[in-house]
Structure 1
Amino acid sequence: MATSSVLRRALLYVPASSQKFMTKSLSLASDNITYDLEDSVTPANKQTARAQLRDHLSSLSNKPASIGELAVRINAVSTPYALDDLTTLASAPNLDAIVIPKVNSASDLSFVTDVIRHAAPQRHASDPTASPLKLIALIESARAVMDLRSICAASPYLSGLIFAAEDFALDLSITRTPSLAEFLYARSAIVTAARAYDLPSAIDLVCTSYKGPVGVKRLEEECQNGKEMGFNGKRELPILKSLFLMPTVFM
């Protein structure tokens, strides 16, 4: 089971296809930097981005003190890219966590766990001398919400849940509104499951309106609302604002 000391008030996503952005990320101060191999990387660039990220992580003598955790968002288990993502990066130095998109069932986490055990046995959770890789699951569908109990019990590496509101809305054919009322059930279920299974992180939905004074106010309101529901972090926030707002809200 993951330890409760993990702190992820903000997850900042950085496209692994951009060496410039990955280098820049090392100068930031954040609980979590997640290098993305999924949505921000086109199929034609998957292989190049994966190798570039491996070299980026290997080139670091140490993780910057200003960054709590370095993670990678792999491609979904249902795609032909996930296995290569895992076998290439599971043993990469300085990698702390793997973010798994589109987790629909326990079998998705079981697959990732089994690959880690074979590809990076030194990061195996049962080894008392190891520093196990942590898994963070993106909950994006009605099926996933209905299957939260088995998902939370599927892997000893699981360290958090993230609510992906836009994909969830697409799955249910609903429209996101400023009140977020349409997501109340799913958000409550995710927070409750994370607490019931003693997972350190329950990460709330991304804020889609953050520009200008009105956007900043909206971001603050969403963060406060998420905290009141039990979330202790927020995902994919704009770098300019998140580094200042999130640590204040999720203390």
Structure 2
Amino acid sequence: MSSPAMAARNTLRRSLLYVPGSSQRFLDKSRSLAADCLTYDLEDSVTPHMKAEARSLVRRAIDQPTPSNIRKRAVRINSVDSGLALGDLTEVLQSPNLTTIVIPKVNSASDLTFVTDVINHTLAQQKNQSPEARPPISLSPLSNPLNPLTNLTQICSSTPLLQGLIFAAEDFALDLSITRTPSLTEFLFARSAIATAARAAELPSTIDLVCTAYKSDKADGSPPATLEEECRDGRRLGFNGKQCIHPTQVKTANAIFGPDEEETRWAVRVVIADEKAAAAGRGAWTLDGKMIDVPVAEKARLLLGRQLPVGLMLRSCRKSGSIRSLNRAFFL
């Protein structure tokens, strides 16, 4: 995979905010928001008689340059089974700024194979554009793990364009005729299956279910407790981002799925001390009274690898030999 494609594939998304594609007002307002991934929606938020118009509105929206406050912009097309996906793709792929396609109701690898084939064919027909003139395109399916032992494995290996998995909680609840509860225990198996499958396939992005609460239930206007707990619960399960349906949810998702200061400090101390231990020929050692071995050290490296500024700082210090100053900065 080329380095630009790898860079696009490895972009983490703490918040994925849906914007109705049929509303020009919402599309305009979205440019002032600060989400990791702004996702223009052509599916659930668009009524059937507005589908064609929404395609045109979204196409014009992504034709505009990406605002500096937004990392990535995506388009959620209609499902392959709907018969609308080809029309959606034909329109939005004309924009040279499109980087990510979100595909709903994906239950088999064939859906992603179809989308990949359409992308390759469409881009090949754009003879007036060189491949280097546009960013690489990645895919993020909304997966419903009804048969996780086979479908998720096949989905994760179906296309080199795959960036990650998104949990389609409402589709899952509908298919199984289950009722969503505040504890979310009815989704535990499905969420764990998705997070595990993504990690096994080394996909960088795993985005958790939508939280339906967005209005503050506190006098100070702070985020709903439900939203905060759902984000923390998702992070504990292995997700590194959350779907958002309202701009007020983005700040909470970014904060909870972003770097934790205490955790980052611990990871830097572990990585530095592990290098010292390796130089001294020790495979296991202790830090703050706790044993640190290879799996723990690798976890610390993985955590820092996802935080580009810290990772660059470590590499720079290694090259310059200034690990001692970094030790002092992190109280080693």
* TM-score using structure 1 length: 0.91
Per-residue deviation at 1:132?
1.7
Aligned to 2:317: none
RMSD across aligned positions (CA): 2.0
Structure 1 counterpart of 2:241, from 208, 211, 233: 233
What secondary structure, in the 3-state scheme, does the structure 1 residue paired with 2:102 have?
A: strand
Say yes or no: does 1:176 pair with 2:183: no
Aligned to 2:255: 248
Say yes or no: does 1:112 pair with 2:115: yes
Per-residue deviation at 1:74?
0.2
Identity %: 55
1:5-29 C-alpha deviation (Å, 9 max, x unpaired):
4021111111110111111111111
Aligned to 2:88: 85
Check whether the contact 1:36–1:73 (CA below 8 A) recurs between aligned residues: yes
Structure-to-structure mapping, 1:6-85, within 5 angstroms:
6-58=11-63, 60=64, 62-85=65-88
Structure 2 counterpart of 1:212, from 216, 219, 224: 216
Distance 1:131 1:145 in 2: 33
Per-residue deviation at 1:182?
0.9
Per-residue deviation at 1:56?
2.2
Distance 1:171 1:129 in 2: 42
Per-residue deviation at 1:45?
1.0
1:137-174 C-alpha deviation (Å, 9 max, x unpaired):
00135146741000000011100111111110110111
Per-residue deviation at 1:216?
0.8
Per-residue deviation at 1:209?
2.5
What secondary structure, in the 3-state scheme, does the structure 2 residue paired with 1:213 have?
A: coil
Per-residue deviation at 1:121?
3.2
What secondary structure, in the 3-state scheme, does the structure 1 residue paired with 2:211 have?
A: coil
Check whether the contact 2:17–2:250 (CA below 8 A) recurs between aligned residues: no
Taking structure 1 as reference, are residues 129 and 50 closer, same or farther at Cα in structure 2, changes over 3 Å only?
closer
Per-residue deviation at 1:108?
0.2
Distance 2:206 2:257 in 1: 11
Per-residue deviation at 1:198?
1.2
Amino acid across the alignment from 2:155? I
Distance 2:100 2:82 in 1: 20
Aligned residues: 245
What secondary structure, in the 3-state scheme, does the structure 2 residue paired with 1:8 have?
A: coil
Amino acid across the alignment from 2:44? D
Structure 1 counterpart of 2:161, from 152, 157, 160: 157
Distance 1:184 1:56 in 2: 37
Distance 2:49 2:113 in 1: 28
Contiguous gaps of at least 5 residues in structure 1: none
Per-residue deviation at 1:85?
0.5
Q: Which protein has the bigger helix share?
A: 2
What secondary structure, in the 3-state scheme, does the structure 1 residue paired with 2:217 have?
A: helix
Per-residue deviation at 1:64?
0.7
Distance 1:15 1:245 in 2: 21
Distance 1:11 1:208 in 2: 14
Taking structure 1 as reference, are residues 150 and 128 closer, same or farther at Cα in structure 2, changes over 3 Å only?
farther
Structure whose alpha-carbon radius of gyration is higher:
2
Taking structure 1 as reference, are residues 247 and 122 closer, same or farther at Cα in structure 2, changes over 3 Å only?
farther
Distance 1:18 1:25 in 2: 11
Check whether the contact 1:145–1:190 (CA below 8 A) recurs between aligned residues: no
Contiguous gaps of at least 5 residues in structure 2: 259-332
What secondary structure, in the 3-state scheme, does the structure 1 residue paired with 2:106 have?
A: coil
Distance 1:10 1:117 in 2: 28
Distance 2:204 2:142 in 1: 14
